[in-house]
Structure 1
Amino acid sequence: MAHRTLNLVHAVLLAGALGLAGLACVACSPARTQTSPGTQGARSSTATPWKTAGAHERSIHARLAGIEDGEKRYALLDSLSTEYFRAGMIADSVRVREQIVDDSKIGAGRRSLEASNLAFLYALSHNYRKCDHYLVLARTFARQTPPTELETLPREPAYAFFAAEAEKERLAANRNDLALLKYQQITDLAWHNLNDPTLSEKRHQAAVNELYDNAVELIRILAQNNRPAEALSYANELSWDADHRPDMQVSVIQRARLERGLAIARESNNDYDGALSAIDAALAGEERVDPAKITAEYGDCLRQRMLIALAMGRIGDYRGDAAAYERIMSLNPFAEQGSSANDRESLSLAARGQWQAASKRIEPLIAYELRVQGAQGPFYKYPAAMQMLYRLQDPVTPAKEADVIAYVSPIVGMQGSWNDATSRGAYVEDGALEMSMRYLVERGGDDTALAFRIAEHFQMDATQDAMNDGAARLAAGTPALREFVEREQALRYGQNTAQLALARADAGLSGQDNGDVSATPDTPTELAREDRAQREANAQLAALRKQIAEQFPLYRQLASPAIPSPREVGAVLHPGEVYVDLYAGRDASYAFVVHPGGAFRAIRLAVTHETLKTQIAALRASFDAGVPPTQPGELAGFDLNAAAALYRALIAPIEAEFAGADTVYLATSGLLASVPFDVLVTQPASSLSGASWWIEKTLPVRIPSAAALVLARTYPAPHAQRPLLAFADPSFDGLDAEPPEQGAPAATLAASRAFPLDAGTRAFDYHRVAPLPETLAEARSIAAALGAPQDSVLWGTRASRSAVMKADLSSDRVVLFATHGISPGEVPGWRKSGLALAYEGHGLADSVLTADDIVTLRLNADWVVLSACNTGLATGNAGDAISALSRAFFAAGARSLLVTQWAVESQSAARITAGVFEAYAANPALSKAGALAQAEREMLAGKDGQVYRHPYYWGAYELAGDAAR
């Protein structure tokens, strides 16, 4: 079957189906269409009769001859184009739109909007010559638009121009990364206009409209560029603003769009329960509007809910959605032609339990996208995931092992392969991977090794957006690497071009670039030429990537992290150590246990994601409240039952695997990244004195992934010479106070280190960040324990981001950051993990050390200590914030991190951290994990007083990374 790419007629039909202003459309939706026979010449029985159309147009032009007013001229031509469209006279409709652009009496802003819309459509139809022509006009007219005209337009020209540019980048060269930049430019401009006090209320509201009308597309393309944490953070921020900011008036339909975007963000973070709640809210909002007026949007919401249900194994519960989807699409005769029939019909078949038919129906779309984008393209990944879910849920014809392996392998990568970590399917990819993992574990045998790779992929994917940023920063600062990376990018983009050329040649469209619906076969010679070009591009790219991996292994691990096999993990484990990858699944959870030497087991845990979510929230509630206990033996809200339940669910089923091991490396992400494993109890208890703590017999150690452990132990370095460099008590107001005297009284017992944010106003002023004077005493205590000079402690304005970036850290065994940690979404507009340092002039923009900053540092540290950081907070995706920082520090050369799971109390923090380094310095045989455990156990035993025996004081600490000496 020959597949044809989207043509102009089909693009315009899609635009009309969406009911948007002019001819604007949302081709960026994953449901990209293929041309269907019979779209040309579609007519409406209620439209202007064809026989009188020419006469009608002549009468319009006769009227125009006597009209000088640009708005009146525009209104007549706009009406004529709309009439042609409704009559199915698509080419004539577009021709009239072009006349609007050419009419010099019409305002520049109107002409710019029409030019952008035409560029958008010609990009969809792959007519890039005309697309470029109208982009030039759109930009020119946008610059000529006076402020007075901006007050009259339905949309600012710059917004439409950037959207058209985005689609051109996406479709002309498979550049989803550049498309993302264009959508971010729209958002940045909208925020700028909203916050500009010189603009009118109308333009402020136009900015709000742009933010919420484009929310779905920006969130979706963030997810497609494998930036799920950023997508969720942005969706949550818009949701908060809509609820709390009086200057952001959001309509019912805009709220529904936001909920739809939130559903996409949650899907991309493997939270299908949350996604279902969001899409339900979106549909409820859209049902308050006449669905006939938002045909495509309502239909896409129904489709999205079916996709979510498919990933959850519940699509049969949503047969009604399939029927409603059919009805809704039938309300507009053009809407059906503007959606992918393969996609829609396959979902309907799956909802009715016709799994094989559903799988067969989606195959043409998969084949088409594979030819156009390749196996790493986001638009290929989502229908491929749909088909895998169809096969895995078919009770009559069970999935074949070969099919599962063929689906999973390109995503998780095979040994030695370079996997593109910058793209993903935005909807059901995680659901398909989880279901594949379950299938492989149930089969057992050699298949569990591939299941292990899936689990590791989940761990690394949770923080991959930060690693991609770090890779870019690393390349920018390393001239030799930068040259390699620029060549790799050029070849990769050339590969995209060759992929598209081959697809078009195969479809019979090469050299035609005219948007015609018909396609003629290309000659075998042309097809052979394009095929040869594609194979040559692939070979050149593979050779260059091999060279990069050999010469710059760190960059390779950031840009395309290789997942080690259980045998490779076992090869770096020491006697007495065991590695555990924990994954919380929808219907069951899984533990993958690796022993020294490579012995490996995959174990199903009979606990679900939702149950774990409830238990973790109960366990963390008192810690996150930030109110420490003040009386000996007081529980202060600590839930011993939850601590026992989590141990019973996650640790007890694999406890036998720990025989002979005292150090357990735990890889977690998402929900499980917020579990404070040190405070788990092995048996139910009613009091602290009767509790049996897991930490008393085991040393739990965090690790972002198996790859992080292998990397740390594969490239060992000699120990650094200087004992310490510390950054403590930063000056958040940019002023230096008098240094506190050494030995000055410590803070009161109740003082805690929480990041300050006025949750009622969403206000943030960097100058108001709570100072941390007690951290200077803590840093000096650590310096004394390590025998470091006092000038190794930088404080006040010297504890700045620029000081860190300029410092030679390669000679320091311990690097300490005693400051606040910031999680994505914790501060308005902030979507990165970072450390708040001294104010340097612009607050967040130049005063926070981010994960991508950290990657570029050159460390040789046995320890990096993040004291006072609350990077483990269980809000949004903050549980992964510590993983992002950990991966960044490991990439920079750190061997281990000491971090906290909640905002700790100051006196106990100083005693724990000083105790760790006193023990470590006193006993050369003690491991890092052993030093932390000793300090915690001593506080638990009452060394520092009975009140401090509560886990609030000692349980926040965790070691991440290489726990050995």
Structure 2
Amino acid sequence: RGIATGTPSTSTGNEAAGTATEAANIVTQPAELYRQAVIYATYELGLGRVDYLNEEFDEARKHFGNALAATLGSVPVIGKLGQMRRYRTAARTSLADIALREGRFAEAVKLYGEAAKGAKDDGRLDLMWPAQRGTGRSLWSQAAHETEATRAAKLREDALVQYREALASIEAIRQGSLHADEARTTFLATTKDVFDEASGALAEMALLSANANATNAAPLAGMALQYAAEAFRIVEGGRARSLLDLLNEGGASITEGVPADLLKRKQENQEQQEAIAAQLNGIQMAGDGAASKSPDQLESELNRLQTEFDSLENQIRAASPRYAALTATQPLTLAEIQQQVLDEGTALLEYSLGAEHSYLWAVTRGGVNLYKLPARSALEGQVAALRDHIIPKQLRRSLTNITAETNDAQRGLSLDTTTPAPTPSAKTPGAKAQLAKRSSGRTPAAKTPAAKTPPAKAPAPTPLPTPITPASPSNVYSAAAVEFYKTAVAPAASVTGERRLLIVADGALNYVPFEALVTSAEGADYGSLPYLINRNEIVYAPSASVIAAVRQQAGAAASAGRDLLLVADPVFNASDTRARGGADAQEGSEAARGLALASAVSDIAEESAPGAEAGGGGAQIARLPGTRAEAQGIAQLARGANRQADIWLDLDASEANIETRDLKRYRVVHVATHGILDAERPQFTGLVLSLVGNKDNDGFLRTDEVFNLRLGSPLVMLSACETGLGKEKRGEGIIGLTRAFMYAGAPTVGVSLWSVADRSTAELMTDFYRRLLMKEGTSATAAMRDAQRAMIAGKKYSAPFFWSPFVLVGDWR
């Protein structure tokens, strides 16, 4: 009945099996029967997931039971096929998830065991990890309620075994295969849960094994060190996996260094897999060539293609070591980090945020310490409070706020709301989003030429708000900065001392400039606060293992020259006088062009402004004239240091130039334009270059496109990035962008965490390059630290809002 009609019932499990049998008499073709069964199982599992997330466990149990009963093989043909095996495993695992949430740990272990056995019997080893993870979590929870110490210890060790097996299963999933995508979208748990829970359990074991009364300054040893080292390796592996997930979500195609014929064969293989999967899932009917194939024949063909895909991936990795390093990277051990990454003057602070507890590894060449920190939510609250005080509400640059004049023109994007425009869709070219220009210190009303709308009246000048003026009391900011310092850094202060700090952050911590943390509530104003930057030089990394990888890559690359490339002041508006007919070259562009930029702008908006909602106004991207002067000033400094500086301005500041011209000879690549760190959809993170005159691209250089750039081994500086406040929960945006430039060849990347004032930025960057270029051998991190401290001492721009958003990611040498 329901299966045949596509409107499944919500009957009991036994009735569901009977309904499936009855449907077999209605639908005679196996392929059609299979498609209808997929509809039924999908429906019941979907309803079960909704009820589970709403904590309606009785209803969820009913739906999962229905899905299980209908996939147990009582209907001829369909029970043995791949989708049914997947749904069967998902139903069993989800029933166990309910038992776990209800605190019935022993029953949960039993149900997870049945799910794992079923997956093994069905030949779907790639679907075992959720059951293994669930078993581990159940045993760990059971241990927490066990009063007998020996029994509790045994349960914890058994839990670790299950977590290790779950991680092994995840790594066995063939990267990029359809099975891998199925596993990521079928279960209530995610692979990130496995990495987080496994590393957290091992960290707890390390702390339990250490003497509870020992001083925190004592390095770990024995079993405590072994557990901590294993937990650390899992955290590092999870960061690599998150990056791959980011690339997969964005549909990234990493092509640089990979033979074209292998890429073509891989693409064709994927297209064939997708076509067969669509037939099996009932998304599309088979074409003439496949009309005679039964579902089990299609399943066999899909398995053959997936095996072939594995072989192609192995060939690509063998042909391109850089591709292999990215897609099949193995994280370094703690001992390898100590020997290959750290020096005597550098300490690693690596964070892992968890739902119940977070953890901090403090690593030097001489030892390892581990600290338990508050839960993710508590740390996120402190981060939000700190950023609230660094960037007062009056100066936040949410993309949907109309740009207001201030005493110091601010870099940042804005939306014009004077002319409604359709929300971007497949038929709405992003290139139609009209662009506004602005001049330093003054914002003209944005215009939409096509609509002939009168310009809106410019808002009245707004003075710099009191909270960030250098002479104002800084006790409110100081309190928030001290609180976060005491939580996240102070526990390891006795270990790190005055060493350089290599920060590997997690989640929202990626958007905190640790330099601006305050070590004590001293100081009468912003210029006299005891900032962490005064005690420690600070550098950041996506993971500790990445530092070793970029050093190896830089060592293998041809030595970069001494030249500088400065990209600044792109043309964002077709009506800009600098366009010189460039808009005509845009004619005939694809309808979907620019949608990534429009989506990114929408994603990182903090709050909706009139016209910014569905059906509201289009993106109005402001010109950054201050970047022109900045680039020219840096070029003058370079010439004074006997270095060549090439400047790409206006239409030359284009995506096409970045992607096609030879960049390998540059020692420094400085890009001063809008950058978007999209925490909502990190795959839409990128740099906004000239949006006029593009023939083969949209002017928005996305993270996946950065991976395919051909750099030498330059310092890359991105001086005008923007992130949406209030949505920085994950951190993958900044991780993906900086890691992309590293993959392309840059060992060190400078990025700003919020849009900043033009004049203070120009002053900071000029001083930074003066220190970097004039004294041979000066590192970028040392030059940036000295320039920031000089700005603090100068009082005028001593508030962290002006100097602290600029951070350096990568190798400090």
Pairing 1:10-49 to 2, within 5 Å after superposition: 15-17=7-9, 41=18
2:51 aligned with 1:302: yes
1:808 to 657, 662, 670: 662
User: Which range moves more in the overlay, 849-858 or 667-676?
Assistant: 667-676
- The one of 783, 791, 797 equivalent to 2:651 is 797
More deviation, 681-690/878-887: 681-690
Q: Could you tell me whether the CA contact under 8 Å between 1:440 and 1:448 is conserved in 2?
A: yes
Q: Report the counterpart of residue 407 of structure 1 in structure 2.
A: 166
Shift of 1:297: 5.7
Q: 1:915 to 1:955 in 2, by over 3 A?
A: same
Structure 1 residue aligned with 2:57: 322
- Equivalent position amino acid for 2:52 in 1: R
Cα distance, 1:14–1:442 mapped onto 2, change above 3 Å: farther
- 1:220-278 deviation per Cα after TM superposition (whole angstroms, max 9, x unaligned): xxxxxxxxxxxxxxxxxxxxxxxxxxxxxxxxxxxxxxxxxxxxxxxxxxxxxxxxxxx
- Out of 357, 360, 372, the residue aligned to residue 591 of structure 1 is 360
The answer to whether 1:439 aligns with 2:351 is no
Q: So what's the TM-score if we normalise by structure 1? A: 0.59
State whether structure 2 residue 407 is matched by structure 1 residue 474. Answer: no
Higher helix share: 1
Q: Report the equivalent of 2:799.
A: 950
Alignment of 1:614 onto 2:381: yes
* Structure 1 unaligned regions, length at least 5: 1-8, 20-32, 43-84, 99-117, 127-163, 172-216, 218-293, 307-320, 502-511, 517-529, 740-753
Task: Give, in angstroms, the shift of residue 885 of structure 1.
Answer: 0.7
Q: How far off its partner does 1:875 sit?
A: 2.3
Q: Does 1:368 align with 2:103?
A: no
Aligned-residue CA RMSD (Å): 4.6
Residue in 2 that maps onto 1:728: 568
What does residue range 67-466 of structure 1 map to in structure 2 within 5 Å? 89-94=22-27, 121-123=33-35, 299-305=48-54, 321-325=56-60, 342-343=92-93, 345-370=95-120, 374-375=124-125, 377=126, 379-395=127-143, 396=146, 398-399=155-156, 400=158, 401-411=160-170, 424=184, 427-429=188-190, 430-444=192-206, 445=223, 446-466=226-246
Aligned to 1:786: 638
Q: How far apart are the structure 2 equivalents of 1:642 and 1:728? A: 35
Match of 1:819 in 2: 673
SS at match of 1:846: coil
Query: Which of 674, 695, 705 pairs up with 1:853?
Result: 705
* Residue 706 to residue 875, structure 1, CA distance change in 2 (3 Å): same
CA displacement, residues 830-852 of structure 1 (integer Å, 9 cap, x when unaligned): 95101111113689971101111
Q: Aligned residue pairs: how many?
A: 645
**1:545–1:629 distance in 2 versus 1, CA, 3 Å:** same
Structure 1 counterpart SS, 2:568: strand
Paired position in structure 1 for 2:545: 707
Q: 1:11 to 1:404 in 2, by over 3 A?
A: same
1:761 to 581, 586, 611: 611
Q: Match of 2:632, SS?
A: helix
Shift of 1:670: 1.8
Name the residue aligned to 1:895: 747
8 A contact 1:730–1:798 mirrored in 2: yes
CA 1:595–1:453: 2 relative to 1, 3 Å: same
Shift of 1:758: 6.7
Partners of 1:869 and 1:424 in 2: how far apart?
31
State the Cα deviation string for residues 317-342 of structure 1 (Å, max 9, x = none).
Answer: xxxx4345457889999999998663
**Structure 1 residues 462 and 333: alpha-carbon distance in aligned structure 2, compared to 1, 3 A threshold:** closer
Asked whether the 8 Å contact 1:729–1:773 carries over to 2, the reply is: yes
Q: 2: distance between equivalents of 1:91 and 1:722? A: 74
> Which whole-Å deviations, capped at 9, do the CAs of 1:272-299 have from their partners, x for residues lacking one?
xxxxxxxxxxxxxxxxxxxxxx987654
Whole-angstrom CA distance in 2 between matches of 1:333 and 1:848:
46
8 A contact 1:665–1:700 mirrored in 2:
yes
Letter in structure 2 aligned against 1:300: R
1:419-455 deviation per Cα after TM superposition (whole angstroms, max 9, x unaligned): 9886636532333432322221122232222211222
Residues 342, 934 of structure 1: alpha-carbon distance in 2 compared, 3 angstrom cutoff: same
Query: For residues 304 and 813 of structure 1, what CA distance do their matches in structure 2 show?
Result: 52
- Give per-residue Cα distances to partners, 1:675-706, cap 9 Å, x unaligned: 12111011134743552111001111111112
- Gap change, CA 1:794 and 1:406, over 3 Å in 2: same
- Asked whether the 8 Å contact 1:730–1:795 carries over to 2, the reply is yes
Change (3 A) 1:389 1:640: same
Q: TM-score, normalised by structure 2?
A: 0.69
- Residues 12 and 90 in structure 1, CA contact (< 8 A), matched pair in contact too: yes
- 1:673 alignment counterpart: 510
Q: Report the CA distance shift for 1:919/1:755 in structure 2 as closer, same or farther (over 3 A).
A: farther
1:657 equivalenced with 2:437 (yes/no): no
Alpha carbons of structure 1 residues 360 and 954: separation in structure 2 relative to 1, 3 Å: same
Q: 1:885 to 1:626 in 2, by over 3 A?
A: farther
Which structure has the bigger radius of gyration? 1
What is the rounded CA distance, in whole Å, between the counterparts of 1:488 and 1:756 in structure 2? 38
Q: Aligned partners of 1:765, 1:351: CA distance in 2, in Å?
A: 45
Q: Secondary structure at the match of 1:792?
A: strand
One-letter code aligned to 2:359:
Y
Q: Is the CA contact (8 Å cut-off) linking 2:361 and 2:369 kept in structure 1? A: yes
Determine if contact 2:246/2:683 at 8 Å carries over to the other structure.
Answer: no
User: Alignment partner of 2:360: what SS?
Assistant: strand
Establish whether residue 910 from structure 1 lines up as the match of residue 768 from structure 2: no
Contact 2:675 2:688 in 1 (8 A): yes
Secondary structure of 1:870's counterpart equals strand
One-letter code of the match for 2:57?
A
The answer (yes or no) to whether the contact 1:410–1:419 under 8 Å persists in 2 is no
Task: Go from structure 1 to structure 2 and tell me whether the alpha carbon gap of 1:900 and 1:41 turns closer, same or farther (over 3 Å shift).
Answer: closer
AA partner of residue 636 (structure 2) = A
* Displacement after TM superposition at 1:466 (Å): 4.2
Contact 1:622 1:637 survives alignment (8 Å): no
Aligned partner letter, 2:770: E
Does the aligned pair in 1 maintain the 2:3–2:23 contact within 8 Å?
Answer: no
Tell me how far 1:862 sits from its aligned partner.
Answer: 2.9
CA contact under 8 A between 1:834 and 1:848: conserved in structure 2?
yes
Identity %: 24
> How far did 1:623 drift?
3.8
Q: Tell me the residue number matched to 2:213.
A: none
AA of the residue aligned to 2:549: L
Distance 1:328 1:491, change over 3 A: closer
Q: Describe how 1:516-531 pairs up with structure 2 within 5 A.
A: none
| Structure 1 residue 727, shift from structure 2 partner | 1.2
What one-letter code is carried by the residue in structure 2 that aligns with 1:732? F
Residue of structure 2 in register with 1:265 after alignment: none
Q: Greater RCO between the two (CA within 8 Å, min separation 6)?
A: 2
Q: For 1:785, give the aligned amino acid.
A: L
1:123, 1:333 → 2: CA distance?
16
Cα offset, 1:358, TM superposition: 1.6
How many angstroms apart in 1 are the aligned matches of 2:66 and 2:329? 48
**Which residue does 1:211 correspond to in 2?**
none
Q: Hey, what's the Cα distance between the residues in 2 that align with 1:418 and 1:331?
A: 32
Q: Is this contact kept in 1: 2:94–2:188, CA < 8 A?
A: no
Rate the CA distance shift 1:941–1:673 in 2: closer, same or farther, 3 A: same
Residues 303-330 of structure 1, C-alpha deviations (whole Å, 9 max, x = no match): 2355xxxxxxxxxxxxxx4345457889
TM-superposed CA distance for 1:544, in Å, is: 6.5
